[in-house]
Structure 1
Amino acid sequence: IHFQYNGFLFGFLLLSVARHFQSRHLQGALLFALLLNLKHIFLYIAPAYGIYLLRSYCFTQDNTDGSVRWSSFSPLRLAALGGIVSSVCALSFGPFIAMGQLPQLLSRLFPFKRGLCHAYWAPNAWALYNVLDKTLALLGVRLKLLEEAELPRASMTGGLVQEFQHSVLPSVSPSVTLLCTLLAILPAVFSIWRRPRGARGFLRCLVLCALGSFLFGWHVHEKAVLLAILPLSILAVESREDAGIFLVLATTGHYSLFPLIFTPAELPIKILLMLLFTLFSFSALSKLFSAHGSLLHPLEAVYLLGLVPLATACEIVFPLSPWQRTLPFLPLLATSVYCAAGVCYAFVRLYASMLREAKAKQL
């Protein structure tokens, strides 16, 4: 039921994006407002929606250089958008406000007491940060620079949802993650404000907002990577570079979900499903861009092939080893860290692609 619920939510997201491609912006805004009230994780991409609608719908004309024409602002259009969003929120939050339960609702929507990372680390920047902290702590003890008794217990690798302190590196607070997230998405949001480049520019910004929030957000769930993978699939069929980025992100992101389906009986199903989708994606996109050569750089291909020995070690070898009892979190850690490298790489490539495209438009 949990996975089916998320599936129907992504249907709302794709319908909303389609409405913007059709220039039916009010319908797109309504669908997104409904989506946001169905599950607040879609706040990750709300900045892309807000800035795009303000820039491309509330301002009706551009200057000859593509910059905003301030005199074209339409208060009526802004009022229409505001009315849609506020009406949906009033219907959703109204009963809680009337019963005096809004503070309790907000505390459940934003549970900062759950700690920086989920029990199973999402493959993001904080997974790499945690491992670096753990490595530095072990080196400090080995080199006798730190006393083991003075270090915090390894609660971050205990599989529990809770707050914890880092051993060597500075501990991360919710305000720090918010600042990092804003810095990560700000260039993308500024880009569509300066020159929107239509619905495709909006979609690229949406993907970057989703990935930036996934990489630097507080207590991110691993399945949130799908917020970037699914919209990116639309861009992948129109651009060779986006197709290559999609293959890296989709393959890495989908494999990072393997620990969520963890019983031995499900192992053949999840492997076959991923292989079918991955092989189809590679073959279809390669055929679509056959005139442009390989979609992946050699190092990218080597990285993706590295998922095979990783899966073999985590899914087959480790359950049969004595480490299963002493280090039960090891496969989750290895999966998160390896996949985090691929997700971070895709994020950097997407930004580089956006900047090159913006520069080409200027020239």
Structure 2
Amino acid sequence: MAASRMGGWMLPLAFGVTLLKCLLIPTYHSTDFEVHRNWLAITYSLPVSQWYYEVTSEWTLDYPPFFAWCCKNINRTKEPKEILEKPDFILAVLLLWNFGLLLIDHIHFQYNGFLFGLLLLSIARMFQGRHLESALLFAVLMNFKHIFLYVAPAYGIYLLRSYCFTKSKQDGSIQWRSFSFSRLFVLGLIVCSVFVASFGPFVAMGQLPQVLARLFPFKRGLCHAYWAPNFWALYNVVDKVLSVIAVKLKLLDPALFSKASMTGGLVQEFQHAVLPSVSPLATLICTLFSIMPAIFHLWLKPRGPRGFLQCLILCALGSFVFGWHVHEKAILIAILPLSLFAVENRKDAGIYLVLVTTGHFSLFPLLFTGPEMPIKICLMLLFTIYSFSALRALFRKEGTLLSWPESIYLSGLIPLQLICEIIYPLTPWQQRFPFIPLLLISVYCSLGTTYAWIRLYISVLQETLTDRKMKAQ
């Protein structure tokens, strides 16, 4: 019944979203428009053997092979109404009219909508117990965009634990009986076949090292040209503050003070002046430490598909908070799956509101020209107001969704926007320190994303303890 009601809403909602997107056609084109246009030219006009060697343009191909092929035979992914057993209108809006997707795909210009469609469809198949289909879809997804490696550990552990182990019920309790090598073989065959189809031609041409070098450019530096709101944004700011203090106290040679701009250029390496400089290995270790509790928890207490989705979100957030050269747009890998939980219980709804508001606001600097300011503000306000009002109405009998410190923090985004985009540009500091608005946004939003990650971890552990108490009773 709920699915049929949502189906009635889908057509007018999709029509309205389409009209809104049409209004955005004449707006600013980001560099990503030129990037993808150049990639199309590369893959259309050059033989496969030259795709990952072409350097005529600075916009070299650095996506996995599936994204590079012409995609005439790829069918549309199914609509989000299939994601949950009982979806409703609120979930449809949170997914279809997500402000971050609208901004990135249809203004900043990227291809994320259909990729997240594959992710959500893969999650749906996992909930339906169709493990092999889920694995196939996710393997295809990783060969479209390798950033989804962030959540690969959740897939690997859950499939190994819940699919490759056979189980039997004895005396009302589930006992893991034996490991099925045949299931592991079939699972591995499916996943490996996808990667062979994707990378096989480049292996045959002896180009795999070149492809991997393009996909994982560790020389690009710790942070993107625009800092993602994560732990390393806080780390960089602490280093900047300590550097200024050290220079004032004549403890540091001003010539050694790093002057890397946060706003200029494509990407760049950044050496810290006071704190230890961070290597790719260090970020990998931090990321592994951040996701290992979720991985072990999923292995020891699988708790079905819900436990898998919780682990997936925690892996996405852990990789975002501590990863190497993280793009600010990667926050959507956590926001969209978390939408599925936001309509299920009050705690997850509160976490979702903190993360989605902070994460979406952190995308504002991607649209930096004057004419886009009212567009991005109005669109985010519409989505945010709807999210708050709809979820509050959904859980009105269970209490408030946010604590007063959380409400105060989110309210601080309003003066922050006024300072960064209206007041500061009118000051004389704009010429000398043009990076200050980006720094303020990254640092302020990093507090929210890190807090949401920690709170979600606590929520998962509390949920497990509650389950244990209920079983004990």
- Normalised to the residue count of structure 1, the TM-score between the two structures is 0.96
What is the aligned counterpart of 2:184 among 63, 78, 87? 78
**1:332 is matched with which residue?**
438
TM-superposed CA distance for 1:273, in Å, is: 0.9
Q: What residue number does 1:31 align with?
A: 137
1:295 Cα deviation after fit:
0.3
> Shift of residue 19 of structure 1?
0.8
1:219 to 325, 330, 333: 325
CA gap 1:63/1:144 in 2 versus in 1, 3 angstroms: farther
CA-to-partner distance for each residue in 1:67-100, whole Å, 9 max, x for gaps?
9855332112111111110010000001111111
User: Which residue, out of 128, 149, 152, partners 1:46?
Assistant: 152
Counterpart in 1 of 2:234? 128
Please tell me whether the aligned partners of residues 225 and 264 of structure 2 are also in contact (alpha carbons under 8 angstroms): yes
Q: Does 1:116 align with 2:222?
A: yes
- The one-letter code of the counterpart of 1:20 is M
The question of 1:22 aligning with 2:128 is answered: yes
Structure 1: how far apart are the matches of 2:173 and 2:249? Answer: 57
SS of residue paired to 1:291: coil
Counterpart of 1:144 in 2: which secondary structure? coil
Work out whether 1:159 is the aligned partner of 2:264.
Answer: yes
**1:300 alignment partner in structure 2:** 406
Report the CA distance between 1:64 and its aligned residue: 7.3
2:155/2:312 contact within 8 Å kept:
yes
Q: Structure 1 residues 283, 46: CA separation in 2 closer, same or farther (over 3 Å shift)?
A: same
Distance 1:293 1:165, change over 3 A: same
Q: Deviations over 1:271-327 (max 9, x none)?
A: 111111101110111011101111000000000000000111112222333222211
Corresponding position of 1:267? 373
For the residues of structure 2 that align with 1:208 and 1:66, how far apart are their CA atoms? 31
Q: 2:161 aligns with which of 52, 55, 65?
A: 55
Determine if the alignment matches structure 1 residue 142 to structure 2 residue 248. yes
Within 1, Cα distance between the matches of 2:172 and 2:430? 59
Higher relative contact order (CA 8 A, sep 6+): 1
Change (3 A) 1:290 1:69: same
**In terms of Rg, which structure is larger?**
2
Distance 2:146 2:271 in 1: 27
Structure 2 Cα separation of the partners of residues 297 and 55 of structure 1: 37
Structure 1 spans left out of the alignment, 5+ residues: none
Shift of 1:215: 0.5
One-letter code of the match for 1:119?
Answer: A
Cα distance, 1:62–1:198 mapped onto 2, change above 3 Å? farther
Measured in 2, the distance between the counterparts of 1:154 and 1:62 equals 63
Please state if 1:94 is matched with 2:220.
no
Kindly state the Cα deviation for residue 355 of structure 1 after the two structures are TM-superposed: 1.1
Q: Distance in 2 between matches of 1:306 and 1:200?
A: 33
Q: CA deviation at 1:56?
A: 0.8
1:229-253 CA deviation, whole Å, 9 max, x = no partner?
0000101111111100000000000
For residues 158 and 127 of structure 2, what CA distance do their matches in structure 1 show? Answer: 12
How many residues get paired?
362
Q: Secondary structure at the match of 1:60?
A: strand
1:103 equivalent in structure 2:
209
* Distance in structure 1 (CA, Å) of the matches to 2:451 and 2:335: 14
Structure 2: runs of 5+ lacking an equivalent: 1-32, 37-104
How much has 1:158 moved relative to structure 2?
A: 5.6
290 and 158 in structure 1: CA distance in 2 versus 1, 3 angstrom threshold: closer
* Alpha-carbon distance in structure 1 between the residues aligned to 2:173 and 2:274: 47
1:258 aligns with 2:258: no
Task: Give 1:153 deviation, angstroms.
Answer: 2.5
Residue 231 of structure 1: aligned partner: 337
Report the alpha carbon displacement of residue 352 of structure 1 after superposing the two structures with TM.
Answer: 0.6
The 3-state SS of whatever aligns with 1:292 is: coil
Offset at residue 144 of structure 1 (A) = 3.2
Aligned-pair CA distance for 1:7 = 1.4
Mapping for residues 171-250 of structure 1, pairs under 5 Å: 171-250=277-356
Q: Provide the C-alpha distance between the structure 1 equivalents of 2:219 and 2:261, rounded to a whole number of angstroms.
A: 14
Farther-moved stretch of structure 1 (155-164 vs 251-260): 155-164
For residues 11-54 of structure 1, what are the alpha-carbon distances to aligned partners after superposition, in whole Å with 9 as ceiling and x for unaligned? 11111111111111111111100000000000000000000111
CA distance in 2, matches of 1:156, 1:38: 31
Write the distance in 2 (CA, Å) between the matches of 1:40 and 1:249: 23
**SS across alignment from 2:143:** helix
Tell me how far apart the structure 1 counterparts of residues 269 and 245 of structure 2 sit (CA, whole Å): 24
Is 1:356 equivalent to 2:467 in the alignment? Answer: no
Shift of 1:164: 2.2
Distance 1:348 1:337 in 2: 17
Matched with 2:66 is none
Distance in 1 between residues matched to 2:287 and 2:268, nearest whole Å: 21
Distance 1:23 1:91 in 2: 26
The structure 1 segments of at least 4 consecutive aligned residues displaced by more than 4 Å after TM superposition are 62-70
Task: Give distance in 2, aligned partners of 1:91 and 1:221.
Answer: 28
Determine the C-alpha separation between the residues in 2 that align with 1:64 and 1:216.
43
Counterparts of 1:233 and 1:224 in 2: how far apart (Å)?
15
1:170 to 276, 288, 293: 276
Q: Which residue identity is paired with 1:301?
A: S
Q: Which moved more, 1:212-221 or 1:21-30?
A: 21-30
Supply the distance in 1 between the matched residues of 2:457 and 2:174 (Cα, whole angstroms).
23
Q: How far has the Cα of 1:266 moved from its partner?
A: 1.0
